[in-house]
Amino acid sequence: MLAPQHQAKVERIEAILHYKTRKPEKAYIWEALQVAGSGHNMIGGRNVPVGNKRLALPGDAVMPVPMIEHWYNQGGALVDWDRVRQHHLSDGNLARVAIATGLTAEINCNPRQIVQPSVRMAANLLEALIGAVWLDSDGDMEAIKTVMFALGFGDVVDPADPEPQNQA
């Protein structure tokens, strides 16, 4: 269970992402807000000494999937894919999105070193939040699409299907 002030941060992030945590006991979103040295080394029963860096890896891997689906469905040219991917998933663009949407206002830095998040920190934060949603939702790509759409990737991600056809 998170402390009330920590839960408030998670709820503000959920509002930005248009995503409601499904496994609050795992605290994936809270983990995504941590920078190495934040002082929160155990979250949801997991050892997280490097902050959100481990969560950023699945986020980095998952983000291109809905983008390539959109590109493919639009009949995109092969030469265009690499340009689209590089532009939208560059650290600079991810940091711009994290700052513009207010995500960086919730980041937990080392309490002895209050600093403006660097481009890399902001990009890691956004990737970690995508990784958190992916893990929290058990890999639900519709949840990933919803979050990416909410963050402003609507030009390269199709909206989530409100009623997926493949449900039993």
Q: Would residue 155 count as lying in a domain?
A: no
At residue 167, does pLDDT exceed 70?
no
Q: What is the DSSP string of the chain?
A: ---HHHHHHHHHHHHHHT---S-GGG-HHHHHTBBTTSS--EETTEE-TTBTHHHHHHHHHHTHHHHHHHHHHTT--HHHHHHHHHHHHSHHHHHHHHHHTTGGGG-B--TT---PPPHHHHHHHHHHHHHHHHHHTTS-HHHHHHHHHHTT-TTTSPPPPSS-TT--
What is the pLDDT averaged over residues 45-51?
80
Q: Which residues pair with 47 in a beta bridge?
A: 42
Question: Has residue 117 been placed in a domain?
Answer: yes
The predicted pLDDT at position 37 comes to: 67
Q: How far apart are CA 55 and CA 14, in angstroms?
A: 16
User: Quick check: is 141 in a domain?
Assistant: yes
pLDDT at 2 over 80: no
List the domain range (segments joined by +) for residue 22: 4-150
Residue 47 lies in a domain: yes
**Structural domain contains residue 122:** yes
What rounded mean pLDDT belongs to the chain? 89
CATH of the domain at 135: 1.10.1520.10
CB 149 within 8 A of CB 157: yes
pLDDT of 60-91, one tens digit each?
999 999 999 999 999 999 989 999 999 999 99
Answer whether residue 61 is part of any domain.
yes
Q: What angle do CA 105, 109, 114 make, to 5 degrees?
A: 85
Q: Please check whether residue 168 lies inside any domain of the structure.
A: no
166 domain-assigned: no
- Shortest CA distance to 51 belongs to which of 103, 138, 129, 105? 129
Q: Total domain count for the chain?
A: 1
